[in-house]
């Protein structure tokens, strides 16, 4: 059974710092992995999606990497800003036919201090 | 562009009362639709998904049901709410499996 974990559960950093959020999954047989952002009391916003054949994806100050063999993904945020404060969730899709089985991690709550 | 709407944003209901949460998607056709629940301190749990009108699959046995009366409309219902139904309910859509899921703003449901 696929399990997704995220460490740390919470993180507080000063503005301007570069940071890394971690996501681990127990079964390396995944179809893709997504990173989402969730603001308090709001829905999820998709940030990056990495297909299983890819190693990384970049969007602005965000870079997500994927190492299937070790069951890990990282989300790198460069030059953090107070507006980056939110909960970040990763989610894995097990296979091409199991889009209904997307499994989410519990999230990392990020606070960027001005 | 595509948009997804959920309402109401917040809801307070007594135990045993009925429930109807609505989700609509605009700007796309035949989307995959999903209902999730996010309980406090826990991850998202997939409740229902639908690949087309009238096609509903349930992930977990529960007090809730879902319906898809129109292509871009997804409804979450209950005949009698339980205290354990409290939580944050999120609707989402996706075009295909290799494309991201897009979420609504959610409904905060409190059962008294």
pLDDT tens for residues B81-102? 999 999 999 999 998 766 778 9
Cα separation of B34 and B39, whole Å? 16
In B, minimum Cα distance to A9 occurs at B41
CB B14 within 8 A of CB B28: no
Structure-model confidence comparison of residues B60 and B112, the more confident one: B112
Q: Hey, is the C-beta of B86 within 8 angstroms of any chain A C-beta? A: no
Res. A33: pLDDT tops 80: yes
| Mean pLDDT score, B71-84 | 95
In B, minimum Cα distance to A95 occurs at B97
Confidence at residue A90, expressed as pLDDT on a 0 to 100 scale: 96
Confidence of residue A100 (pLDDT cuts 50, 70, 90): low
| SS3 assignment, position B4 | strand
Confidence at residue A26, expressed as pLDDT on a 0 to 100 scale: 95
- DSSP state, B84? G
Cα separation of B77 and B15, whole Å? 14
Cα separation of A93 and A27, whole Å? 11
Q: Burial level of A104, CB count in 10 A (0-12/13-18/19+)?
A: buried
Residues B89/B95/B99/B102 CA torsion (nearest 10 deg): -30
Report the sign of the C-alpha dihedral through residues B70, B18, B35, A21, in that order: positive
- DSSP state, B30? S
Q: Where would I find the H helices in chain B? A: none
Confidence of residue A99 (pLDDT cuts 50, 70, 90): low
Structure-model confidence comparison of residues B62 and B16, the more confident one: B16
Nearest CB neighbour to A43, from listed B32, B97, B103: B103
| Mean pLDDT score, A28-52 | 92
Cβ <8 Å between A42 and B108: no
In A, minimum Cα distance to B39 occurs at A106
Confidence at residue A98, expressed as pLDDT on a 0 to 100 scale: 66
| Mean pLDDT score, A91-98 | 80
Res. B41: pLDDT tops 80: no
Confidence at residue B110, expressed as pLDDT on a 0 to 100 scale: 95
Q: Hey, is the C-beta of B56 within 8 angstroms of any chain A C-beta? A: no
Confidence at residue A94, expressed as pLDDT on a 0 to 100 scale: 83
Res. A95: pLDDT tops 80: no
| SS3 assignment, position B58 | strand
> What is the 3 state secondary structure string of A53-113?
CCCEEEECCEEEEEECCCCEEEEEECCCCHHHCEEEEEEEECCCCCHHHCEECCCEEEEEE
Cβ <8 Å between A104 and B44: yes
Res. B42: pLDDT tops 90: no
Confidence at residue B100, expressed as pLDDT on a 0 to 100 scale: 79
Q: Hey, is the C-beta of B43 within 8 angstroms of any chain A C-beta? A: yes
Confidence at residue B98, expressed as pLDDT on a 0 to 100 scale: 62
Structure-model confidence comparison of residues A42 and A90, the more confident one: A90
């Amino acid at each position: 059974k696929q399990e997704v974990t995220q460490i740390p559960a919470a993180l507080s950093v000063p503005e301007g710092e570069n940071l890394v959020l971690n996501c681990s999954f127990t079964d390396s047989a995944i179809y893709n992995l997504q990173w989402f952002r969730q603001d308090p009391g709001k829905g999820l916003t998709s940030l990056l999606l990495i297909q299983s054949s890819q190693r990384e994806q970049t969007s602005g100050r965000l870079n997500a990497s994927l190492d299937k063999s070790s069951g890990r993904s990282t989300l790198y945020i460069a030059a953090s800003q107070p507006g980056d404060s939110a909960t970040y969730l990763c989610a894995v899709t097990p296979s091409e036919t199991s889009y209904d089985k997307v499994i989410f991690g519990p999230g990392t709550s990020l606070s960027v201090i001005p | 562009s595509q948009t997804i709407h959920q309402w109401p944003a917040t809801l307070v209901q007594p135990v045993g009362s009925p429930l109807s949460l609505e989700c609509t998607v605009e700007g796309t056709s035949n989307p995959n639709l999903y209902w999730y629940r996010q309980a406090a301190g826990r991850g998202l749990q997939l409740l229902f998904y639908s690949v087309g009108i009238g096609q509903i699959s349930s992930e977990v046995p529960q007090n809730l049901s879902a319906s898809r009366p129109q292509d871009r409309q997804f409804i979450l219902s209950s005949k009698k709410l339980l205290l354990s139904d409290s939580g944050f309910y999120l609707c989402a859509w996706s075009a295909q499996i290799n494309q991201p899921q897009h979420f609504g703003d959610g409904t905060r449901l409190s059962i008294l």
